[in-house]
Structure 1
Amino acid sequence: MTFQSTTSGIWIPLITPFKAGELDESSLRRLVKHYSSIGLRGFVLAATTGEGQTLDDAELERLASVCADETSHCSCEMPIYLGVSGSDPRKVEKRFQQTKHWPIDGYLISGPNYLRPSQDGVKRHYEFLAGSTERPIMIYNIPYRTGVNVLNETMLELAALPNIVGLKDCCGSPEQSYDLLRCAPKDFSVLTGEDPFFYNAMVHGAKGAILTGAHVLAHVHLEICEDLHNGHQKLALEKWNRVVHIPRLLFVEPSPAPVKHWLWRQGLIDSPEVRLPMLPIGDSLAGKIDAAVNLQGGTDWRI
């Protein structure tokens, strides 16, 4: 199977469960086992939703090891990508060396944050990184966090590199996203990373998505993809309209606290803990999520 064929469909930017301040391996195994069984295409670990900036090196390695161990028991191929960020490409290259023997399949790499380089600087940043690893790279374009937008002209030049295989698109501009979807090469996978934008992105030709909401809406996302593939756009829209309010709930307060509360209420994790500077959700939002979980027929997944 080629890199390109694996970077499509619905991916999950997996939350990192904590309990009493430590990595909760029991809940992590439960999560991975569950999501490996329902048709998702891959995992992204330690990115924004996974609170990667709060994890130390030992926790990152353990996170990858546990996830890989659990996915090895499933019958489907589930690539594992590690979220990586940094403004200094030399430091990112060192991260590649540190993780060389970790059981991961690729990297999701956000743009160089804070420095706000030129587009040529952005291009050279990713070119350097692509030449520093044999593993596939997905670009994570999220300018409202990094301060730099990877524009489409730059993106298309980077797409020509053999191990830059796709994009998690959070550019914040529908016009930019649609233009890229129209002109992206066939072997470059544009995956939306904006939960409320999921349906529109798929209709306009996205090859999939990497969504926080996949933690709670994976079955709906998968059904919508199947409906669109079979030409049933009206049915797909009806399904999306029934759940479109849920992504809004998951981002009323800083992510991933809302989705962690949801998963805790479902029984998929033992605690909704987040790490500072993130905080637990307030009582008002907790009540709304509790009501939504009950309405969705929340299932206790404790095993």
Structure 2
Amino acid sequence: MFKGSYVALVTPMDDQGEIDYTSLEKLVAFHIDNGTHGIVSVGTTGESATLPFDEHIQVVKKTVEFAQGAIPIIAGSGANSTAEAIFLSEQLSGTGVAGFLSVVPYYNKPQQKGMIAHFNAIADATDLPVMLYNVPGRTVADMLPETVAELAKHQNIIGLKDATGDIARLKQTQSLVSSDFLFFSGDDPTSCDFLCEGGQGVISVTANIVPKQMAQLCEAALAGNFEQAKQINDGISSLHTALFIESNPVIPKWALFKMAMINSAQLRLPLVSPELASQNEIEQIMRETGVL
């Protein structure tokens, strides 16, 4: 089904904070041309928390339109309200998306039983595949391997984006689910190890900046060429770290602006432009890695 390098795509905005669809079209073409295997549209890197429903849905629709079927588009449809997550999934089901990425509810701190009820309700509301997303560094609540195993019994829940960075957690969860359940890394610094230990892909922030390298890394690892994958990873490992020196997607948007891939590095409040020291640091690393 899904495999390889999926970019957690930023949502470009103009200097007034409105969605910049010209830049969005340019980004989609950039990823198709550089071998990205798929796009996650309006996930957390796409600033889903600050896009109202109408914008959220429109950005996904335009991303699907711009891709013209060349690569699959997974729509972010998570929310800390189960009803809102179901609403988004229902509204996006007819847009041409290939599936959904649904994050563990944030702030609420649901119990494990609450997570099971939440995700089963979302999966019941759609015929499209749903990928779970566990990112306790942002949501505080941590979806445990046993919870993933219970949710994997639902025919529409097909995989997990794991952003814990814990390879032991990957191995533990793999042992509890069927062999066709998908595991995607959501932690760029450990993504190469994740793939080498049996993951099927990544949903990557770094891929915003170096899509070709992330695609090649995934292809090498999935082909069993682990040394080649590690060599590619070594060449971009400094980017994995630098892109998170401030809250995501502050630095990725700044980097794309410096690459002239988007017209503005504008973010939605409460996120603001990076500090000058951060700008200097990411520019230096982009030059060292050949991006600039």
TM-score scaled by length of structure 1? 0.89
2:22 alignment counterpart: 26
1:239 alignment counterpart: 232
1:69-94 CA-partner distances (Å, limit 9, x unpaired): 1111x6x3x22122122233233222
Aligned: 1:185 with 2:178: yes
1:38 alignment counterpart: 34
| CA spacing shift, 1:99–1:240, aligned 2, 3 Å | closer
Structure 1: segments with no counterpart, 5+ residues: none
Provide the rounded CA distance (Å) in 2 between the counterparts of 1:168 and 1:193: 6
- CA contact 2:42–2:60 (8 Å) conserved in 1: no
| CA spacing shift, 1:63–1:284, aligned 2, 3 Å | same
2:262 alignment counterpart: 269
Secondary structure of the residue that 2:246 maps to in structure 1? coil
Provide the rounded CA distance (Å) in 1 between the counterparts of 2:251 and 2:64: 26
> How far 1:182 moved relative to its partner?
4.3
> How far 1:160 moved relative to its partner?
2.0
Provide the rounded CA distance (Å) in 1 between the counterparts of 2:6 and 2:286: 22
The partner residue of 1:9 within 4, 17, 25 is: 4
- CA contact 2:80–2:106 (8 Å) conserved in 1: yes
For 2:162, give the aligned amino acid.
Answer: D
- CA contact 2:53–2:88 (8 Å) conserved in 1: no
- CA contact 2:195–2:222 (8 Å) conserved in 1: no
For 2:12, give the aligned amino acid.
Answer: P
The partner residue of 2:208 within 192, 215, 227 is: 215
2:67 alignment counterpart: 71
Provide the rounded CA distance (Å) in 1 between the counterparts of 2:122 and 2:11: 26
- 1:159-178 aligned at under 5 Å gives the runs 159-178=152-171
Provide the rounded CA distance (Å) in 1 between the counterparts of 2:265 and 2:87: 32
The Cα RMSD (Å) is: 1.9
| CA spacing shift, 1:100–1:191, aligned 2, 3 Å | closer
Provide the rounded CA distance (Å) in 1 between the counterparts of 2:170 and 2:223: 23
2:133 alignment counterpart: 140
The partner residue of 1:111 within 101, 104, 108 is: 104
| CA spacing shift, 1:143–1:231, aligned 2, 3 Å | closer
Structure 2: segments with no counterpart, 5+ residues: none
- CA contact 1:266–1:293 (8 Å) conserved in 2: no
TM-score scaled by length of structure 2? 0.92
Provide the rounded CA distance (Å) in 1 between the counterparts of 2:222 and 2:86: 39
- CA contact 2:189–2:240 (8 Å) conserved in 1: yes
> How far 1:178 moved relative to its partner?
2.5
For 1:286, give the aligned amino acid.
Answer: Q
- CA contact 2:200–2:222 (8 Å) conserved in 1: no
1:210-233 CA-partner distances (Å, limit 9, x unpaired): 010011222222222333344432
Provide the rounded CA distance (Å) in 2 between the counterparts of 1:42 and 1:230: 18
Provide the rounded CA distance (Å) in 1 between the counterparts of 2:246 and 2:204: 16
Provide the rounded CA distance (Å) in 2 between the counterparts of 1:277 and 1:148: 22
Provide the rounded CA distance (Å) in 2 between the counterparts of 1:125 and 1:149: 14
